[in-house]
A and B are shown apart, each in its own frame.
Chain A
Amino acid sequence: MSGKPKLHYFNGRGRMESIRWLLAAAGVEVCLYRMSPCLVPFSLDGSLLFQQVPMVEIDGMKMVQSRAISNYIAAKYNLYGKDLKERALIDMYVEAVIDLNELLMTHTFQPADKKEQHFATIVDKATNRYFPVYEKVLKDHGQDFLVGNRLSRADVQLLETLLMAEECKPDILVKFPLLQSFKARISNIPTIKKFLQPGSQRKPPLQEKDVPKLMKIFH
């Protein structure tokens, strides 16, 4: 068990999901620690730099801050481009995906009277701001991957978001043929294919019934 990264989080997607995706894509096995939500602050007393999860024990560090963790994993497993310029592109694409993820993630937490408008915002931003950019990137260079003609975290994180967006609105990719083929292509990569199968570490979407419990812990 020692040597495998250990993930500390509750049993759901949240801010840990992108990290699970990256580790899975890199073919890294993890040691799981499912925590009971009410024990979060106490059982890890002193281990949480800013009193928050996600926390990942990896290579002798107790890492916090999901971006820091993702950056480390991406660099360690060669999913971060070959030089500074590729890294810059990857970072730009990933940061925007994170922005869209925030919208998607917070949808379940919206009060009933705001849900419809929030849904409309998601669809608008996804189809008018974000997806057209990635569609164009793929169209312009005609390559299989977003950056540098090889798999990077940008591809992994974009796929994650595309699938989450489809959970929100199944036909959301209808106007984006290249994103559709990108989705099929990246999903077929062996490590990712495995992660998309039942029994993997991938977490299901948040259920409405779990929201009150989570609101209590995190707000």
Chain B
Amino acid sequence: MAGKPKLYYFDGRGKMESIRWLLAAAGVEFEEEFLETREQYEKLLQGGSLLFQQVPMVEIDGMKMVQTRAILSYIAAKYNLYGKDLMERALIDMYVGGTDDLMGFILIFPFLSAEDKEKQHAVIVQKATSRYFPAYEKVLKDHGQDFLVGNSFSWADVHLLEAILMVEEKKSDVLLGFPQLQAFKARISSIPTIKKFLEPGSQRKPVPDDKYVETVRRVLHMYHDMKAN
């Protein structure tokens, strides 16, 4: 049943957002089913669609894929965004690992207590500006190319752009002092598929709000506050 991939998740960013970005970057149209009620989730569980009882889940190429990283790797490989050989793949995996860690700090943010949110905000900015951004700035400076790996557009570029924009939402001038990243951001944003994704009306989701948090808590019966890193 070759058709569009179908994404099962809440109507919000969470762990599914990187998958939306990657599909969009690859120019792949996709459908979404949004989890709004506990009953919907239980129906998916009872139907055996969620291998480890969790979302994200993506129906793609006859598979019901779960585990965000597995889904992303599959899409990247399928759409030639994973480098041309093992070495390039290794670099992409390393860079994606870094942006994944960075976005991980932001992922839990909406679920923190008010007090922890303030601390976490500082952590996000500090990690971004002293650990992660300098690494990518240096990569771009050292090879002087347009893309992070192999002089061609890859998953690493999409993921880094996503991370940059998310951190900028927390602190709008966070790229001051990172001229390479500023140019990178402009450059990757103007790639046609990405430009389209960044326009209103796309399937990109907005910054998580209270309604999103309520929905997640209600559907997953997840009522405790998360702990900050």
Q: Which residues of A contact B (CB under 8 A)?
A: 49-51, 59, 61, 63-65, 67-68, 71-72, 75-76, 84-85, 87-88, 91-92, 94-96, 99, 129-130, 133
Contact = CB atoms under 8 A, between A and B. Distances in A.
B67 A96 contact: yes
Contacts of A95: 67-70
Question: Which range holds the interface residue count of chain B?
Answer: 20 to 34
B93 A88 contact: no
A88 B74 contact: yes
The winner among A71, A76, A99 for most chain B CB atoms within 10 A is A71
Nearest to A137: B51
Given A84-B77, A133-B51, A68 B97 contact: yes
A55 B107 CA distance: 26
Contacts of B132: 50
Contacts of A59: 87
Contacts of A92: 51, 65-67, 70
B54 to A, nearest CB: 8
B90 A71 contact: yes
Interface string B51-74: 111000000010101111110011
B94 A49 contact: yes
Interface of B: 51-53, 61, 63, 65-70, 73-74, 77-78, 86-87, 89-90, 93-94, 96-98, 101, 131-132, 135
Instruction: List the 3 closest pairs (A to B, CB-CB), nearest first.
Output: A65-B97, A68-B93, A91-B70
Contacts of B52: 96, 99, 129-130, 133
Contacts of A94: 70
A94 B51 CA distance: 13
A139 B222 CA distance: 32
Contacts of B77: 84, 87
Contacts of B53: 129
A51 B87 CA distance: 21
A44 to B, nearest CB: 14
Contacts of A133: 51-52
A50 B135 contact: yes
Given A61-B90, A65-B94, A96-B52, A88 B65 contact: yes
A49 B98 contact: yes
Contacts of A72: 86, 89-90, 93
Nearest to B229: A219
A95 B56 CA distance: 13
B93 A84 contact: no
18 contacts: A50-B101, A50-B135, A63-B90, A63-B94, A65-B98, A67-B93, A68-B93, A71-B89, A71-B93, A72-B86, A72-B90, A75-B86, A75-B89, A88-B63, A88-B65, A92-B66, A95-B69, A129-B53
B175 to A, nearest CB: 18
Given A87-B74, A91-B74, A95-B70, A76 B86 contact: yes
The winner among A59, A67, A68, A96 for most chain B CB atoms within 10 A is A68
The winner among B67, B94, B131 for most chain A CB atoms within 10 A is B94
A67 B86 contact: no
B74 A84 contact: yes
Contacts of A50: 98, 101, 131-132, 135
A65 to B, nearest CB: 3
A99 B51 CA distance: 14
Contacts of A99: 52
B153 to A, nearest CB: 19
A94 B74 CA distance: 14
Nearest to A59: B87
A65 B159 CA distance: 15
A75 to B, nearest CB: 6
Nearest to B51: A133
Nearest to A75: B86
B181 to A, nearest CB: 15
A193 to B, nearest CB: 28
A84 B89 CA distance: 14
A26 B90 CA distance: 18
A63 B67 CA distance: 23
Contacts of B78: 84
